[in-house]
Structure 1
Amino acid sequence: MHSLRMLWHFIKRLLHLVASPIRRDRGRGGIVVHPYRGYGSQQEVFVMGRVFRQAPLGRAIPRWGFFRDTADVARRIFRRGLADTRVEVYLGENLHQVVTDRDGYFEVRVSLEHPLPIDVSWHRADIWVRAKGEAPIRTQVEVFVPPPEADLLIISDIDDTVMFTGVAEKLKMLYRLFVKKPHRRTAFPGVASLYQALHRGESGKAERPILYVSRGPWAIYELLEAFFQLNRIPVGPILFLREWGISWRHPLPRRAEDHKRDLIDRMLALFDDLPCVLIGDSGQHDPEVYTDIVKAYPHRIAAIYIRQVGSDPQREAAIHKLQRELALTSCDLILAADSIKMAEHAYENGHISVRGLQSVKRDVADNPMA
C-alpha cells in the first residue's frame, strides 16, 4: 500500500512539473513565447527560445489538481511550433531579427555594434514576436555579459556535480528529480561556497561567468532555478543539453555528450580571451569529453575538476588513465571525493582566495552528509 501511494505521488508530481510551463497562459491557449536566459561577451550575445501555439483549456477542466495537470500535459504534447515566425531581439541599441525554424525554435546571435554598459553584468533584452495574422507579442529575457575584470570562465555540469541525482541509479534519480521539492534535494557539501569563490576569484570582485549544462529537460528549468537560489549557488545561464519535450518529429533526445561538446566549443569561442575550468562528475562521460577538449584547445583549459560518484574500480582506473594522458599538458585533472580537494587545487593555482577556501572547508564541516 505504501509503495502504491509513493507511485501515485510520483505520477502526480511528475505530471505537475511537466505541465508547469503550460500554465503560464492561464488556460487561454494561443501563441506562447518561451525565451531562455541568454549569455554573451562584449562583442556578441546569444538568446534562444521557442514560439508555439497551444490549445485552450476546456471549460469543463478544473483550474488545478490532477485533471488540470493531465489536460495541460496533453496540450503540451499536441502544441505546434510556429515555423517562419519573425522574432526581433532588442538589446540596448542593438537589434537582430531571425525567423523560427520548422519546430518554432529561434536562436539569435546579436553582434554588439553599440556597446552595453560595463558596470552591470545582467542586461534585459526585449523580444517581439510577429506572427502572421496575429497581434505582436512582447516579452523580455535576461542576458549575462561578464565585466572586463573577469579572468576565468567556469563551465559546470549540474547532475551529480552540483547536486546529487544518482544518474547511475535511474529510479532514484527520477524520484529526486521530479518528486523532491527544491529545498529537500541534495546539494553536495561545499558546492555553494566553492562556486561563490570561483565566481568572485582571488580578488573577491571578479564576477566570472559560470555557465551550467545539464542532461535534464527544459521542463525542470524553474525547479533548478529555485534549487540554486535556495542553496546560495551563483546563478548563471542554465544551458540544457537536450530538448526532452515530447514530439512526433523528434521522439528521442540527442546524445548528451555530443551536445555538451558543441556547447563547450561555442563557449570557448565566445569567451576566447578567458582560460576555462571544467567541472563534472565521474558517473558519465565528463572526463572523456573534457580530456578531448584539452587536446583540441591547448593552454585554454586551466583545470578539470571531476566529482567522484560511486565506487566502481574500473571507472576509477579509466579516469586515472586520463590523468596520465594530461600529465604533460598545462591542465590538471583532479578526481575529488569532496569539494575541499577542488578548492585546495583552485587556491594553490590562484583561482580562488584564501577566504574562499576557508568558506568551503567550513561548509563541508557543517554539512558532512548534506
Structure 2
Amino acid sequence: MARHKRVAQYTFRKLLKVLARPVKGDRGQGGTLIYPYRGYGSQREIFLMGRVFHQPSLGLPLKSGVLRDMADIVRRMVRWGLADREVAISVGHHESVVTTDRDGYFYAHITLSRSLPTDTVWHKAELKVLGTEETLPAVADIYVPKPDIDLAVISDIDDTVMYTGVANKIKMMYRLFMEKADERTAFPGVAPFYQALHGGATGDAGRPMLYVSRGPWSIYEILEAFFHLNNIPAGPVLFLREWGLTLQHPLPKKAEDHKAHLIESMLSLYDELPFVLIGDSGQRDPEIYADIVERYPNRIKTIYIRSVHKQSDRDQSIARLAAKVQDAGCELILASSSEKMACHAFERGYISRAGKEAVVDADRAER
C-alpha cells in the first residue's frame, strides 16, 4: 500500500512538472512569452514554428515545488495567444521577421543565402518579439542534416511508435506517466529500430527522423518527454493540426489531407533523398503512402506498416496496395513486430547488423 502511494505521488509530481514547464521561462513575472518548436531544413532553406503568448504573473511568492507547479499550470490554462505580433528570428547570418496569426502562431520560412556550418546538425535560432520590452527572448533548435546523408525517414506516431491515446489527452497522460511508462507507451523494439534507422548501415549516419501526428500542438512537450523517456531519436515533431481546445476556439480544426501535405513538403525540401515511410494499419496510412508513391515515383524506397487492425478484410486491402506500389518500385511491408521491420531493413542495407540485433533482442525481451 505504501509503495503504491509513493508511486502515485511520484507520478503526480512528474506530471505537474511537465505540464507546468512551458510557462516557467518568465520566472513567474508574466508578460509576453515565445514558445518555439523544433525547426528543420536544408542548406537552402529552413522552417520554424512557434507561438507567442501573454500569460499572467505568478502573483504569489512561491518557490519551486508542488504548489508552484500547480500555480504555473493554472497560468498555462488562462494564457492566450497574441495575434499580429512581429517575431524577429536570427539564424547564423540570416534574419527574418514573421507575424503571428489570430491564435498567436507564427510560421517562418527562411531562404539561406549562405550555408550553415556543417560540423553540426543542430543549429540555434534566436527569437524576440518586436515592439515590446516585456518579452523574453527565446532559442529554438533547428535540424539540418549532413550534406552526405543517404536516406530520410518519416514516421507516424499514433499506433506506430506509441500505443494510441494522443487523441485522448487524459489517456495519454495516464500511460505516459504511470509506473514503467517506458514499457507501457512505446511498442516493443521501437527505440532501437529508430536508433538503427537514424544511424544507418554505418551506425553514425545521423539521418533525418521526421515525425507526424494527428495530435494537437498543445501536447508538444508531452511528446518530447515521451521521446526522451523511450530513447527515441529526436527530430522535428510535425503535428497534423491545431485542435484549438481554447476558450477562443473550442472546436478541433479539420485535419483533411494534412499528413500527405506534410510528407510532400519533406519530399520537396529533401529533393535529392530517397525516403522510408512508417505508419500503421489502423488508420489510412497505407492508402496515403501508396498514393504518394504513385505521385512521386522513385522517391519512396520502402513503406513499413505496423499491423494493429482487427478487421478481417484489412490484410487483403493492404496486400493490394503492396502490389500496386511494387509496380512503382517500392516495397510495402506489413509487420506485426519491430523485429520483422528490422530484419527487412537490414536485408536492404538500411541498418547495421548490430542495429538489427538490438531490435531483435529488445522486441523479444519486451513482449
Q: TM-score range by the shorter chain?
A: 0.7 to 0.9
1:59 shift after superposition: 3.5
8 Å Cα contact 1:17/1:178 also seen in 2: no
Structure 2 CA distance, aligned partners of 1:251 and 1:315?
A: 35
Structure 1 CA distance, aligned partners of 2:263 and 2:134?
A: 38
From the superposition, tell whether residues 59 and 206 of structure 1 become closer, same or farther in structure 2 (CA, over 3 Å). closer
Q: Which runs of 5+ in 2 are unaligned?
A: none
From the superposition, tell whether residues 225 and 67 of structure 1 become closer, same or farther in structure 2 (CA, over 3 Å). closer
Structure 1 CA distance, aligned partners of 2:114 and 2:166?
A: 44
For 1:30-49, list aligned pairs within 5 A. Answer: 30-49=31-50
1:287 shift after superposition: 1.4
Task: For residue 326 of structure 1, give the secondary structure of its aligned residue in structure 2.
Answer: helix
Matched residue type, 2:286: P
From the superposition, tell whether residues 66 and 295 of structure 1 become closer, same or farther in structure 2 (CA, over 3 Å). farther
8 Å Cα contact 1:34/1:50 also seen in 2: yes
8 Å Cα contact 1:77/1:246 also seen in 2: no
For 1:315-326, list aligned pairs within 5 A. Answer: 315-326=314-325
Structure 2 CA distance, aligned partners of 1:272 and 1:201?
A: 19
Task: For residue 140 of structure 1, give the secondary structure of its aligned residue in structure 2.
Answer: strand
Structure 1 CA distance, aligned partners of 2:49 and 2:170?
A: 31
Matched residue type, 1:122: W
Structure 1 CA distance, aligned partners of 2:36 and 2:166?
A: 28
1:26 shift after superposition: 4.1
From the superposition, tell whether residues 334 and 261 of structure 1 become closer, same or farther in structure 2 (CA, over 3 Å). same
8 Å Cα contact 1:340/1:360 also seen in 2: yes
From the superposition, tell whether residues 180 and 17 of structure 1 become closer, same or farther in structure 2 (CA, over 3 Å). farther
For 1:33-182, list aligned pairs within 5 A. Answer: 33-59=34-60, 65=66, 69=70, 72=72, 75-130=75-130, 132-135=131-134, 137-165=136-164, 175-177=174-176, 182=181
* 1:333 alignment partner in structure 2: 332
Structure 2 CA distance, aligned partners of 1:50 and 1:277?
A: 30
From the superposition, tell whether residues 170 and 316 of structure 1 become closer, same or farther in structure 2 (CA, over 3 Å). farther
Structure 1 CA distance, aligned partners of 2:294 and 2:255?
A: 20
* 1:222 alignment partner in structure 2: 221
Matched residue type, 2:194: Y
1:115 shift after superposition: 1.1
Aligned residues: 360
Structure 1 CA distance, aligned partners of 2:230 and 2:169?
A: 24
* 2:272 alignment partner in structure 1: 273
Matched residue type, 1:303: T
* 1:345 alignment partner in structure 2: 344
From the superposition, tell whether residues 63 and 173 of structure 1 become closer, same or farther in structure 2 (CA, over 3 Å). closer
Deviations 1:64-98 (A, max 9, x none): 658963x6555445433222222111111111111
Deviations 1:31-52 (A, max 9, x none): 1110001100111111110111
Matched residue type, 1:307: R
Q: Percent identity?
A: 52
Q: TM-score, normalised by structure 2?
A: 0.86
* 2:261 alignment partner in structure 1: 262
* 1:189 alignment partner in structure 2: 188
Structure 2 CA distance, aligned partners of 1:205 and 1:60?
A: 48
From the superposition, tell whether residues 195 and 291 of structure 1 become closer, same or farther in structure 2 (CA, over 3 Å). same
Task: For residue 137 of structure 1, give the secondary structure of its aligned residue in structure 2.
Answer: coil
Matched residue type, 2:33: V
Matched residue type, 2:335: A
8 Å Cα contact 2:306/2:334 also seen in 1: yes
Structure 1 CA distance, aligned partners of 2:28 and 2:314?
A: 49
Deviations 1:167-193 (A, max 9, x none): 799985563256567545432222122
Structure 2 CA distance, aligned partners of 1:142 and 1:284?
A: 31
Task: For residue 37 of structure 2, give the secondary structure of its aligned residue in structure 1.
Answer: strand
* 1:25 alignment partner in structure 2: 26
Q: TM-score, normalised by structure 1?
A: 0.85
8 Å Cα contact 1:309/1:337 also seen in 2: yes
* 1:207 alignment partner in structure 2: 206
Aligned CA RMSD, in angstroms, stands at 3.0
Structure 2 CA distance, aligned partners of 1:129 and 1:181?
A: 41
Q: Which runs of 5+ in 1 are unaligned?
A: none
1:337 shift after superposition: 0.3
1:292 shift after superposition: 1.6
Q: Bigger CA drift: 312-321 or 286-295?
A: 312-321
Matched residue type, 1:151: D
Structure 2 CA distance, aligned partners of 1:25 and 1:236?
A: 26
Structure 2 CA distance, aligned partners of 1:218 and 1:170?
A: 12
Q: Bigger CA drift: 353-362 or 190-199?
A: 353-362
1:360 matched to 2:359: yes
8 Å Cα contact 1:257/1:289 also seen in 2: no
Structure 1 CA distance, aligned partners of 2:168 and 2:311?
A: 13
1:273 shift after superposition: 0.7
Structure 1 CA distance, aligned partners of 2:112 and 2:343?
A: 38
